[in-house]
Amino acid sequence: MVDPHSPDLRENGFARLPGLAAGEALDRLRGAAGRLADLVRDRTVSTGDFVLEAPGIGGWAAWQQGSGALTGVLRSADRIHEHVPEFDAVQRSLGLADGVVGRAVGGPGTLVNAFLWAKPPMVGSAKPWHQDMAFAPPGFGTGEHGIVTVWIALDPATERNGCLEFHPGSHLLGLLPHSGDRERLPGEAPLARAVEPHVADEHLPRTTEPVPVPLEPGSAVVFDGLVLHRSAPNTTAAEPRTAVSFVYRVPLPSWSSLEPAAVHR
């Protein structure tokens, strides 16, 4: 479990949680992920809650451009705890809001969203560098709240198939500029060329090197909403990388700043 004074989380912005959801909890999460996949098995078009993967340009860009996707092949799913309530039941049984999250920031968290992140073999697309606080939902008061995410691997997450990577200490830099297109609203015309929101190379820190965080199934990483992270594409032939994440609103951690900051180079 994460100690409130953990140097990993406070200083680096992320911390590993080996075996957090092992055994029965992992089986339940995998079963819930299977039920989620059943909901989109025949879908050919992405929506706000279910983004299908697309070869070449990736699922997010294909969705925004109105391009074709792979039938029933998920890249990501939003609000999974509402679509399949078992996800919510598992995070409650693990006591994440009061336990892992509460101890990390000194106060209990409130679940605000949950996601499935799939990277199918050969076609699993990359996620560019970003900070989760750049996409915070309504209800976050500037200077009052932060985000803590618990990201749990359901398959082995490796450097080959696109495990998460972090810039250590980047959560201390404040909110960095994000480039790219916002998600189009229902009824808006498709974009001619969609660029997923990201932190451009010129705004990335130069004093640290990215750190990959491979995880065994059932292990997790907890991270601050301001830490820079990304994941590479899955170019393996037969190694899926599936994970779920639970996102919590928390009292603003003592180390956090939501003010834009100069990037340390």
CA-based R_g, the chain, Å = 17
CATH code, 7-44+75-251: 2.60.120.620
Q: What's residue 129's pLDDT? A: 98
Confidence of residue 262 (pLDDT cuts 50, 70, 90): very low
Taking the domains of the chain in order of start, what are their residue ranges?
Answer: 7-44+75-251
Lowest-confidence region among 29-33, 79-83, 129-133, 254-258 = 254-258
Please state whether 51 falls in left (phi above 0), alpha (psi between -120 and 50) or beta: beta
Distance CA 131, CA 43 (A): 30
Mean pLDDT throughout 214-242? 97
Backbone angles phi, psi at 260, to 5 degrees: -60, 145
Mean pLDDT throughout 91-114? 94
Distance CA 51, CA 78 (A): 9
Lowest-confidence region among 28-37, 189-198, 212-221, 235-244 = 189-198
pLDDT digits (tens, 9 = 90+) for 240-260: 999 999 999 999 887 875 554
